[in-house]
Copies of this chain bind each other. A is one copy, B any other.
């Protein structure tokens, strides 16, 4: 299974602490999944790339939005495990632009059968949302593989 953590905006410089954190958590996911980042300059570039991709692989799309569905870390891990067991090849997580998703993007999301995931009711800086998601992906991989990280040890 491949996890792609995409965001819309500009690439963070390598020395940015949020970039460093995100990359550290993605590296730790290790054998559970292949995890990497992707950047799209605009919403349009993202939907365009997705349309091209869907002709080949049809990734499972997860858009991040504070108005979406909230899950506990355990439920998120169970959800990821179920997708893995159904042989889903690729899950594409996407964090919206710094100024939030456009109304057009919200309509597009509403029309898709995939998940709109909320990390909580609070609005997070988009590079911070990406780091939090990377930590949750790492946490999910430890829950599914029985590693004791999630219990704080």
Which residues of A come within 8 Å of B, CB atoms?
17-18, 20-21, 66, 70-73, 75-76, 97-100, 118-126, 128, 131-132, 135-136, 139, 150-153
Given that A21-B17, A151-B99, A152-B97 are contacting pairs, would A124 and B135 also be in contact in the complex, using a CB cutoff of 8 Å? yes
Instruction: Count this chain's copies in the assembly.
Output: 2
Residue ID in chain B nearest A19 by CB atoms: B17
Minimum distance in angstroms from A96 CB to a CB of chain B:
9
Bound: A123/B132 CA distance, A: 10
- Of A71, A97, A132, which is in contact with the most chain B CB atoms at under 10 Å from its CB? A132
Which residues of B are found within 8 Å of A21, using beta-carbon distances?
17-18, 128
Residues of chain B lying within 8 A (CB to CB) of residue A153: 99
